[in-house]
Amino acid sequence: MDLPAIITPELIGYLRALYRMDWHGIHGWPHWLRVWENGSRLAARTGADLTLVALFAFTHDVARLNDGWDVDHGRRAAEIIHDTLQGKVFQLNENDLNLLLDAVTRHSQGILEADPTVQTCWDADRLDLGRVGYRPDPALLCTPAARDPGIIEWAYERSLRWWE
């Protein structure tokens, strides 16, 4: 799947330099690509903003310190987006920036209610849980599109091959 135009070589280079863990590990580049693919498929049904889904996919885990429980990684990633990326690597209007910051900050908190674009971002990430041994639970997904059994099965089977 092609990367959206906002995911520039400059942005990827910055994220790769910043990312402290294995670039090819369970929270690294292959995961980000799958979250993007999940999100773009969901967005076709939810109407989510593809630019925000893409930025979420490639930034939500960039500030992780480990592959285990890292409660503040979303907040740290949002700070990087706000303080470093916005206005330098990409330019979002205030509303879109706030949606992206919300999606990234709260993505691992299990919340279900939010703007449809934010929900799509969260579902795109949650659909990739097979890589860490969990089948996505429809009750923990936000959108009807993500709760579709066909989407869950497709995403789950892909996430079992997380290294691809």
**22: domain CATH number?**
1.10.3210.10
Q: How confident is the model at residue 17 (pLDDT cuts 50, 70, 90)?
A: very high
Of the pLDDT bands very low, low, confident and very high (cuts 50, 70, 90), residue 3 is confident
Q: Work out the average pLDDT over 109-134.
A: 96
pLDDT at 89 over 80: yes
Q: Under DSSP, is residue 10 helix (H, G, I), strand (E, B) or coil?
A: helix
| pLDDT at residue 162 greater than cutoff 90 | no
pLDDT of 75 strictly over 70: yes
Q: Is residue 1 part of a domain?
A: no
96 within domain boundaries: yes
The per-residue pLDDT of the chain, averaged, comes to 96
Report yes or no on 36 lying in a domain: yes
Is the pLDDT at 138 greater than 70? The verdict is yes
Mean pLDDT of 132-139: 96
Residue 3 included in any domain: no
Task: Decide if 164 is inside a domain.
Answer: no
Report yes or no on 2 lying in a domain: no
In a domain, 63, yes or no: yes
What's residue 164's pLDDT? 63
Q: What is the pLDDT, as a whole number, of residue 74?
A: 97
In a domain? residue 61: yes
- CB burial of 3-41 (b: ≥16 within 10 Å; e: otherwise) equals ebebbeeebeebbeeebeeeeebbbbbbbbbbbbbbbbb
Number of structural domains found in the chain: 1
- Give me the pLDDT at residue 163, please: 67
Q: Which two tokens stand for residue 119?
A: 């929900």
The whole domain housing 75 covers: 9-159
Could you give the CA distance from residue 138 to residue 122 in angstroms, rounded to a whole number?
13
